[in-house]
Amino acid sequence: MKIVIVGGVAGGATAAARIRRLDEQAEIIVFERSGYISYANCGLPYYIGDVISDPEELTLQTPESFFSRFRVIMKVHHEVTAIHPDKKCVSVKNLETGETFEEDYDKLILSPGARPARPKVSGTGSDKVFTLRTVEDTFFLKEYINKHHPRSAVLAGGGFISLELAENLRELGLEVTIVQRPRQLMNPFDPDMAAFIHAKMRRHGVKLLLGRTVEGFGESTNGVDVFLKDEAPLHADMVVLAIGVTPDTHLAKEAGLKLGIKESIAVNDRMETSVPDIYAVGDAVQVKHYVTAQDTLISLAGPANRQGRIAADNICGIDSRYTGSQGSSIIKVFGMTAAVTGVNESNARKAGLCVDKVILSPMNHAGYYPGGKLMTMKVVFEKETFRLLGAQIVGYDGVDKRIDVLAAAIHAELKATGLKSLDLSYAPPYSSAKDPVNMAGFMIDNIEKGILKQWFLDDLNNLPNDGSVTLLDVRTTGEYRSGHIEGFQNIPVDELRKRLDEVKKGKPVYVICQSGLRSYIACRILAGNGYDAYNFAGGFRFYDAVTNDRCLTESASACGMDR
């Protein structure tokens, strides 16, 4: 059996190695148009910032090492220019010599990946406007920085690559501005959780121009002008386009393969395309979202690797199925960690799901053990069924552990209330006896039982100011003085029982504290004394972060805080 693979890196290289492990006799040829068959895409920004200093560290395998171990022929600088399903062959061009030839196959795997999206505006061809997708891109950008010593950079786009590159450029001493059409960075996160990412970026000197549209670039003798819609242009020494990626599927389209959203390659759960004996994997393929079951594109290394393995299994006679992509991902932001899995609240609502959520701010480990830090967790679930839909966490140590536990729980189709019963490891340096994941489960369990009733930030502007409700802040007097929401009276939780006469009965009570814990205790005190009490999800800390971010992103008039 002869297998031809178009593209290496995650999906293609994984498929090649898996086929060899399953079939020692198969003839396997990989065509890769770049000079690298397996490299660490996610490490590229850290080479720019000198965190990874040796360029060889970016290369996971060379053609020689891959052949030595797997007897797979890796032909770099070879571009497949056409697929001929009727003849079961591909046309190939040697980019070094210009030679063209045809290569026949029994099975074909397409792993072309995705290419950086380029806005359809003027000036993108300037040699001071870069993209960052391949090792060659990285070396080109690094060489420019080392040679010209730029002092400023504009990054167009606010996804993973942009944030990682912004951090590394700041570490090199550059002034960095991120311009993004949406009003938030990191679209996998909800806007309220992205607020914490925005704050961290701003604290480290990254300028954020959110809700702005780039209309073009103009090269000048001393840099690049970035033209913005309805605003004065920006000026920088260099620009990096990081507005996302587009499936690189022109070969599949020309060969008549069925395409999906954004012209991605449509595949079934065996990674088979619409044409017999042709498979496709990686960033170029359309997948089902594991939570919503909707068609989607998710460009991540983990799914690409799994898809490569599944295609290889099926080629070698093993029935293997791809169950969908969950979008689990994580990013370092100047020492902070932000992670997400499943579907966020915004996208869940767009998918037509009826959702609820809990927001909490637990410590990463036991409070009495030195060095503990807060994390902010948002767990989204379906009302009525309590199906676990997704989670977002922003914090420091321990974020990766919790997001992976939640990712596993979603994949196992655990109900959100079931999080309370997970038997998770505990020692003071690592966790608490009530792990943050368990705490989320306790809260959701209380919601199911009617013990916890919540109100949210979006409810604030709709609360009547005619005296028909009571607004209560149960933090200490000092906390209240340092900042509070206008209209909330202050009764510290430890004084509440003896001051209940100050809270009129017969009116709903909307309660807030710093993190949500003391206000929950206050709600139980109130409920036990005949009040209808609602706890603010996330606490004043959450309110403060989100409203401050809205003020900075939109205008100061958006603030409703008395300071």
* Residue 468: burial class (beta carbons within 10 Å; 0-12, 13-18, 19+): exposed
Order of all β-strands in the sheet with 2-6:
73-76, 27-32, 2-6, 107-110, 278-280
3-state DSSP call for residue 284? Answer: helix
Q: Treating both helix axes as pointing N-terminal to C-terminal, what angle do 9-22 and 301-315 enclose, rounded to 10 degrees?
A: 30
**CA pair distance 242, 285, nearest whole angstrom:** 20
Assigned token pair, 200: 């961290």
Residue 195 Ramachandran class (φ > 0 left, ψ -120 to 50 alpha, else beta)? alpha
3-state DSSP call for residue 202? Answer: helix
Which is it for strands 484-485 and 223-228: parallel, antiparallel or unpaired? unpaired
**CA pair distance 223, 236, nearest whole angstrom:** 6
Q: How far are the Cα atoms of 24, 90, 421, 422 from residue 433, in angstroms, in the given order?
A: 50, 59, 12, 12
Beta strands per DSSP E along 120-237: 129-131, 152-156, 175-180, 207-210, 214-220, 223-228, 234-236
What single letter denotes the amino acid at residue 466? D
What single letter denotes the amino acid at residue 426? Y
Assigned token pair, 302: 């983990």
**234 neighbors 225 (Cβ within 8 angstroms):** yes
Which is it for strands 454-455 and 533-536: parallel, antiparallel or unpaired? parallel
Q: What is the CA radius of gyration of the chain?
A: 27
**39 neighbors 135 (Cβ within 8 angstroms):** yes
Helices (H), 223-370: 250-254, 301-315, 345-350
Terminal CA-to-CA distance of the chain, rounded, Å?
Answer: 73
**176 neighbors 170 (Cβ within 8 angstroms):** yes
* Residues designated catalytic: 42
